[in-house]
């Protein structure tokens, strides 16, 4: 049970939604947007989150839609991880989200909720970072699109009252060779020691990571090393580790030293797959 009461609103347009948020803030309320609701319930029960006004954005048109439009795959931020998995419009994304939590949770967790969530793994963002996706952010000026690599820095950079509405992925990325690997210390639905997402475009490998640091990331410096074919795969992997951001996680899931050990072998496996083997 959530230990606080709140008002509930369900607007039907983006403008109505963002205007309502600003109105509630002006009334000294603490509004939160609601999509899947998993974090509101989970963190609210632990007294780690509070709201006295919930704005349900599930009635917004296109918020739960997956479709191809011209050169883009368009995915609404309200689409559940289960729907992404089952419809499989972008195999790398589908395989990645299939490894998040268990099916019961994935039925509730939305794509946007995972990307914008407080739990710092946010693995659903990894395929989007390496496919140069665009994110549609709804705010005071309406719906504006930004390259995800410009607005995601450890977490998505949203102004107060803004929310993620949809994601656009250039359809040329949808059928590229890919790898998605998740290494856990514990059971099949535990948090990751390391998650690696990679794809190969124009004979070059791109990678993004979760579980290594307290934030997901893509490193262009590491990719430059991965693609330097003057060196062996083993040398490339070893040299790339100098560009890891800090800090490295050290917690009950695994020590920082163990994480780097697992990461090194996962990158090695990924490069072997993309440079001479099928998808995994």
What are the tens digits of pLDDT across the range 36-82?
776 666 666 666 567 889 999 999 999 999 999 999 999 999 999 99
The pTM of the whole model exceeds 0.85: yes
Q: What is the pLDDT of residue 278?
A: 44
Q: Is residue 13 part of a domain?
A: yes
- Chain-centre distance for alpha carbon 232: 31
76 shares its domain with 166: yes
Of 150, 173, 196, which residue is a domain's last? Answer: 173
Domain total in the chain: 3
CA distance linking residue 183 with residue 243, whole number of Å: 21
pLDDT for 38: 67
Considering the domain architecture, whether residues 73 and 150 belong to the same structural domain is answered as yes
Q: Report yes or no on 2 lying in a domain.
A: no
Question: Do both 242 and 202 map to the same domain?
Answer: yes
Read off the CATH number of the domain in which 241 is found. Answer: 3.30.390.50
Same-domain check for residues 125 and 26: no
Domain limit, last residue, from 173, 195, 225: 173
Residue 135 has pLDDT above 70, yes or no: yes
Q: Would the CA dihedral through 85, 86, 90, 92 be positive or negative?
A: positive
Residue carrying the six token digits 């690696």: 196
pLDDT at 275: 93
Domain end among 120, 140, 173: 173
CA 110, CA 165: separation in Å to the nearest integer? 11
pLDDT tens digits for range 148-170: 999 999 999 999 999 999 999 99
Q: Are residues 128 and 195 in the same domain?
A: no
Residue 1 lies in a domain: no
Please tell me the number of Cα atoms within 13 Å of 185 on its side-chain side: 15
Query: Is 50 exceeded by the pLDDT of residue 280?
Result: no
* Domain annotation covers residue 11: yes
- Do 90 and 16 belong together in one domain? no
Range of the domain at 269: 178-274
C-alpha 120/C-alpha 46 separation (Å) is 17
Q: Tell me, yes or no, whether 161 and 89 share the same domain.
A: yes
Residue 61 lies in a domain: no
* Domain shared by 78 and 165, yes or no: yes
In this structure, are 258 and 169 located in the same domain?
Answer: no
- Residue 187's pLDDT band, with cuts at 50, 70 and 90, is low
Please check the confidence at residue 1 and state whether its pLDDT lies above 70.
no
Q: Indicate which CATH number applies to the domain containing 117.
A: 3.30.465.10
| Structural domain contains residue 167 | yes
Residue 209 and residue 120 share a domain: no
Do 168 and 72 share a structural domain? yes
| 116 assigned to some structural domain | yes
Q: Given this model, what pLDDT does residue 48 score?
A: 58
Same structural domain, 156 and 98: yes
Q: Is the pLDDT of residue 205 over 50?
A: yes
């Amino acid at each position: 049970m959530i230990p606080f009461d709140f008002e509930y609103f369900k607007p039907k347009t983006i403008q109505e939604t963002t205007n309502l948020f600003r109105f509630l803030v002006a009334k000294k309320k603490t509004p939160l947007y609601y999509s899947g609701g998993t974090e509101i319930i989970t963190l609210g029960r632990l007294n780690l989150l509070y709201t006295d006004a919930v704005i349900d954005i599930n009635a917004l048109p296109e918020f739960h839609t997956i479709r191809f439009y011209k050169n883009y795959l368009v995915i609404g931020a309200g689409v559940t991880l289960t729907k992404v998995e089952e419809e499989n419009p972008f195999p790398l994304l589908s395989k990645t989200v299939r490894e998040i939590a268990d099916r019961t949770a994935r039925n509730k967790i939305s794509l946007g909720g995972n990307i914008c969530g407080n739990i710092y793994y946010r693995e659903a963002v990894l395929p989007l970072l390496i496919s140069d996706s665009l994110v549609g952010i709804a705010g005071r000026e309406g719906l504006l699109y930004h390259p995800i690599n410009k607005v995601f820095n450890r977490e998505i950079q949203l102004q107060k009252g803004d929310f993620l509405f949809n994601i656009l992925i250039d359809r040329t990325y949808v059928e590229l060779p890919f790898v998605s690997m998740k290494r856990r210390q514990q059971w099949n639905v535990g948090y990751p020691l390391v998650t690696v997402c990679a794809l190969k475009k124009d004979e070059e490998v791109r990678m993004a990571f979760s579980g290594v640091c307290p934030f997901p990331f893509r490193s262009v410096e590491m990719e430059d090393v991965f693609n330097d074919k003057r060196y062996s795969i083993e040398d490339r992997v070893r040299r790339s580790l100098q560009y890891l951001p800090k800090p490295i996680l050290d917690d009950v899931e695994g020590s920082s030293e163990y994480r780097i050990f697992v990461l090194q072998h996962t990158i090695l496996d990924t490069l072997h797959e993309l440079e001479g083997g099928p998808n995994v």
